[in-house]
């Protein structure tokens, strides 16, 4: 197997950059759930899954950042089209059910983007890492859907 000091591949860089910090990327997922977790701590402590999801998304961001670095890119907080991630990308809804529904929508979009990227990447090491993130996203979706049923 080839050593994973990957060659510069601008196509792969762009795909992974968008997964990392595109409009519906892992960093936006992290920011939104981190915000919601902090809000819920003060008004609804039942939503323990948010804390788990925050940790999962932070790990996903670390994996993508590492991949970008190994591809010779800089893991900046912007999409491949140079659109910077900001707090404007977070849905600041305060109603608990609406909050979880917004998360489900965001994670579903993020999951679709991951599947699309995996289908376009031939490198097995990158694919394996993206599949780990995909599993994590699917678990998070399951947690969120279970919480919605409890409300």
Domains within the chain, CATH numbers bracketed: 10-150 (1.20.1260.10)
Q: Which two tokens stand for residue 138?
A: 């699917």
Burial 92-125 (b: 16+ CB within 10 A, else e): ebeebeebbbbbbebbebbbebbeebbeebebee
Kindly report whether the global pTM for this prediction surpasses the value 0.85.
yes
Q: pLDDT at position 29, please?
A: 97
CB atoms within 10 A of CB 68: 20
Q: What would the pLDDT profile of 131-151 be if each residue is shown by its tens digit?
A: 999 999 999 999 999 999 988
DSSP, res 22: S
Instruction: Judge whether residue 22 has pLDDT over 80.
Output: yes
Instruction: Judge whether residue 123 has pLDDT over 50.
Output: yes
């Amino acid at each position: 197997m080839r050593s994973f000091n990957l060659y510069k591949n601008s196509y792969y860089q762009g795909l992974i950059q968008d997964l990392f910090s595109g409009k519906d990327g892992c960093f936006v997922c992290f920011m939104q759930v981190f915000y919601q977790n902090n809000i819920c701590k003060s008004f609804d402590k039942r939503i323990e899954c948010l804390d788990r999801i925050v940790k999962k998304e932070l790990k996903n961001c670390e994996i993508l950042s590492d991949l970008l670095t190994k591809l010779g890119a800089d893991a900046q907080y912007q999409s491949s089209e140079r659109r910077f991630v900001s707090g404007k990308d977070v849905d600041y809804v305060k109603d608990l059910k609406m909050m979880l529904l917004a998360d489900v929508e965001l994670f579903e979009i993020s999951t679709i983007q991951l599947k699309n990227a995996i289908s376009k990447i031939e490198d097995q090491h990158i694919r394996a890492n993206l599949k780990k993130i995909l599993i994590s996203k699917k678990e998070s979706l399951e947690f969120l859907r279970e919480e919605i049923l409890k409300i």
